[in-house]
Structure formats: structure tokens, C-alpha cells
Structure 1
């Protein structure tokens, strides 16, 4: 999955139905509101609630740094 993929505009978190952020280096989608990361396996986002991984606060801050703009 790449940042220009039109699918990113319609993919939503299965828990809060909000938008997800692509983490290219992590090969994952991230919900910063719930601190949940969803893996992308072979180009397919794994968006079942059970597939999401809860992220600790220090990891959340690191991931926010990866998604910050210039």
C-alpha cells in the first residue's frame, strides 16, 4: 500500500469508524485516537478488531513523529 492509494480515503478503523494513517515504514495502518495499529499483510490491511494491536504511550509518540508533516 502506498500513500497515494485511493483506498486510504475510504478505509476506516473497525472500532471507531474514523480514518486511519498509513505507516509506510511499519507496513501498518494506525488509529492515533485509540492508539491501535493494524498490520498490512501482503498488501492487504488486516482490519478485524482482533487484528489491531494496542500501542503504549511511548510507541504512540514515536508513531506520531513518523506521521508528522514538514
Structure 2
């Protein structure tokens, strides 16, 4: 998924309806508020609530740093 894709502005977390952060290197979208990651498979975001995976505190901090760069 391309970071410049306008679709990213309208994608939302299925649980809290908030914005998601693209982490292109990991092929995932990330919700830092709930510490959930959603995979991108073959360019398609998997945004079902059951597709979200909780991340560790260490990964959460790393993802926030990556997103800030």
C-alpha cells in the first residue's frame, strides 16, 4: 500500500473508528490508541475486528517511532 494513497485518509479502525497509521515496511495498519495492528495482504487491508492483533509494549514504542519518521 502506498503512503500517498488517498484511501488511507478514510480508513478507520473497526473497533474505535479512529484513524490508522500505515507501517509500510511491516505491511500493516496500526491503531496506537488500542495497540492493535491490522495486516495488509496483497495490498488489501484486513480490517475485520478479528484481524486485529495486540502488540507488545516494546513493539508499540517502535511503531510510534517509525510512524514519526
- TM value normalised by structure 2: 0.97
The number of residues matched between the two structures is: 69
Aligned residue in 1 for 2:55: 55
- RMSD (CA atoms): 0.6
Poorly superposed stretches of 4+, deviation over 3 Å: none
Match of 1:11 in 2: 11
User: How far did residue 66 of structure 1 move?
Assistant: 0.6
Q: Which whole-Å deviations, capped at 9, do the CAs of 1:1-59 have from their partners, x for residues lacking one?
A: 11100100100000000000000100000000000000000000000000010011111
Normalized per residue, the structure richer in helix is 2
- 1:27 is matched with 27
TM-score, normalized by length of structure 1? 0.96
SS in structure 2 at match of 1:8: helix
Distance 2:42 2:58 in 1: 28
Structure 1 unaligned regions, length at least 5: none
Q: Which residue of 2 aligns with 1:44?
A: 44
Structure 2 unpaired stretches of 5+: none
